[in-house]
Structure 1
Amino acid sequence: MSLEAKAENLADAIANSSEFEELKDAEAKLEENEEAQSIMQKFQSKQQQVQMMQQTGQEIDEDVKEELQSLRSEMQDNDVISELMSKQQEFNKIMEEVNNVLSTAIQGEEEDCGHDHGGCAGGCC
């Protein structure tokens, strides 16, 4: 099997994983909820403002920090956004695990899994 075919198999497995499907469902719920979208847009806008201030060396005053924190709390209190953030974390964890396996295999390092097998052939990766 070619490298591209193996990559496609991995992509299919990720796309068909429950974590990815749940993430897509949570994203769809956000798209259907105007209140959640508004909160997210306000937060992202304020976050961009803060980043621009930091890049230009401006000091970020307490009012801006409090507004950002208030928007962050509003996001956490919104069930649709909270679910989306949770599903993003779950999916990111899966992707991190995949990247770790790939990195370990490419670098030729063994993961310490307590078995006396060469590489990951023991099934611990």
Structure 2
Amino acid sequence: MNIISLDTKAKEFAQAVKETEEYSNLNAAQARIKLDPVAQELINELEESQRRIQEGQAQGQQVNSEVQSFQLLQQKAMANETLKRFFQAQQDFSKVMEEANQIITNELFGQISS
């Protein structure tokens, strides 16, 4: 199989993924976030908190208080219905991609016992 053929197959696979219910649900959940300013702010705060944790860890700093703040933000996010649906949609889509990856791995390397 040449590279052009592989490219075509990869695009066909991507199109098949786009046709899944999980992909559709994820896109809808992302669109709902854009309509919910509270959800948007929580996402921004989570990302900023996560960035501070990563930077602190990279510099060898104690990040316990930042981790606690992050956990509180996560709890707030899970209480927000828009974000709760988004996180569930992400998880469902992730499962689809994990299953696809497992199938590809099995096809490439044979059945892997787990």
User: TM-score by structure 1 length?
Assistant: 0.81
2:6 maps to 1:3: yes
The 5 Å alignment of 1:73-112 reads 73-107=75-109, 109-110=110-111
Q: Which runs of 5+ in 1 are unaligned?
A: 113-125
Distance 1:59 1:79 in 2: 32
Q: Which runs of 5+ in 2 are unaligned?
A: none
> Hey, what does 1:120 align to over in structure 2?
none
> Hey, what does 2:71 align to over in structure 1?
69
Of structures 1 and 2, the one scoring higher in RCO (CA 8 A, sep 6+) is: 2
Cα displacement string for residues 26-52 of structure 1 (whole angstroms, at most 9, x for unaligned residues): 000001111100011011101110110
**Structure of larger gyration radius:** 1
Distance 1:105 1:43 in 2: 38
Q: Output the aligned Cα RMSD.
A: 1.6
Amino acid corresponding to residue 21 of structure 1 in structure 2: S
8 Å Cα contact 2:52-2:66 kept in structure 1 = no
Equivalent residues, number: 110
SS of 2:68's equivalent in the other structure is helix
User: 1:64, CA displacement in angstroms?
Assistant: 2.3
User: 1:5, CA displacement in angstroms?
Assistant: 2.6
SS of 1:57's equivalent in the other structure is coil
Among all aligned residue pairs of Structure 1 and Structure 2, give the percentage whose two residues are the same amino acid. Answer: 26
User: Residue 47 of structure 1: which of 45, 50, 70 is its match?
Assistant: 50
User: TM-score by structure 2 length?
Assistant: 0.88
Distance 2:56 2:8 in 1: 46
Deviating above 3 A after TM superposition, structure 1's stretches of 4 or more consecutive aligned residues are none
User: Residue 12 of structure 1: which of 2, 11, 15 is its match?
Assistant: 15
